[in-house]
Chains A and B, each alone.
Chain A
């Protein structure tokens, strides 16, 4: 069963992250890196990506003639995807456990961030990846 674990935050939250000390950022990244290594070892790892800063996000609509109309203006309350993990696990509980580990990654001063991680199952168990 494939799941995507979504880590999201508001623009203000992202700005707060930029203010973390170097040491705190390194400790945070080390834990996330360790989770990726564990998932690789247990063969549950499919993919992970971090997305570029929200100020680079665009929203696109197709005009009648199919020409793209781009806009970079989002409501303040909008949650932006910061990064994701795709895992292939035996059960939903296992996906929740991994999300719990990610949520517990250390933040400023080494305290767990406890950030909420959204867990979503793929619509099809067959990957359409090429």
Chain B
């Protein structure tokens, strides 16, 4: 079963770069260790971090099909900070991995306890729609 594991942040979450270097390094080391472990277990499909929300754009098609870009988002918007695609035996294993990510160390080494959104991936569009 494939899942997308999403780490979301509010725009205010840009406070991360203000952490002391030591705390940032511990956080990154934790994430790299987790990715290595998931890879060794054959559960990691991909893991990516996204650039900061100030580079995000919202695109709509104009009448002539041309893209109209906008970089203005409501204050309440959650931004995807990074994601993992995992392939695991069942939902409980997916929850365990999400909890590990949630408990990644933050400033001063305290677990962040971030909420991690977990979404099953569809194997494909329903057959009658293809």
Could you mark each residue 49-65 of chain B with 1 if its beta carbon is under 8 Å from any beta carbon of chain A, else 0?
11100011111111001
Report the separation of the CA atoms of residues A2 and B48 in the bound assembly, to the nearest whole angstrom.
Answer: 10
- Complex: chain A residue closest to B129, CB-CB: A29
Chain A residues with Cβ under 8 A from B101's Cβ? 62
- Complex: chain A residue closest to B117, CB-CB: A59
B45 touches A62 (CB 8 A): no
Chain B residues with Cβ under 8 A from A115's Cβ? 60
Chain B residues with Cβ under 8 A from A41's Cβ? none
Chain A residues with Cβ under 8 A from B22's Cβ? none
Give the distance to chain A from B37, nearest Cβ to Cβ, in Å.
Answer: 12
A62 touches B100 (CB 8 A): yes
A68 touches B95 (CB 8 A): yes
Choose among B45, B61, B85, B99 the residue that contacts A60 (Cβ–Cβ < 8 A): B99
Q: How many CB-defined contacts (below 8 Å) exist between A and B?
A: 170
Interface residue range, chain A = 35 or more
CB interface residues, A 92-127, toward B, < 8 Å = 92, 96-97, 99-101, 103-104, 112, 114-124, 127
Give the distance to chain B from A5, nearest Cβ to Cβ, in Å.
Answer: 8
B119 touches A81 (CB 8 A): yes
Give the distance to chain B from A38, nearest Cβ to Cβ, in Å.
Answer: 14
A4 within 8 A of B: yes
CB interface residues, A 44-92, toward B, < 8 Å = 47, 49-52, 56-64, 66-70, 77-81, 92
A57 touches B95 (CB 8 A): no
Give the distance to chain A from B111, nearest Cβ to Cβ, in Å.
Answer: 7
Chain A residues with Cβ under 8 A from B91's Cβ? 58
Size of the chain B interface, CB-CB below 8 angstroms: 59
A15 within 8 A of B: no
A101 touches B61 (CB 8 A): yes
CB interface residues, B 104-130, toward A, < 8 Å = 111, 113-122, 124-125, 128-130
A114-B60 contact, Cβ under 8 Å, with A26-B129, A68-B99, A101-B65: yes
Chain B residues with Cβ under 8 A from A70's Cβ? 95, 118
Give the distance to chain A from B95, nearest Cβ to Cβ, in Å.
Answer: 4
A68 touches B61 (CB 8 A): no
In the A-B complex, the 8 residue pairs with the closest CB atoms? A100-B67, A68-B99, A62-B103, A104-B61, A60-B98, A99-B59, A62-B99, A62-B102
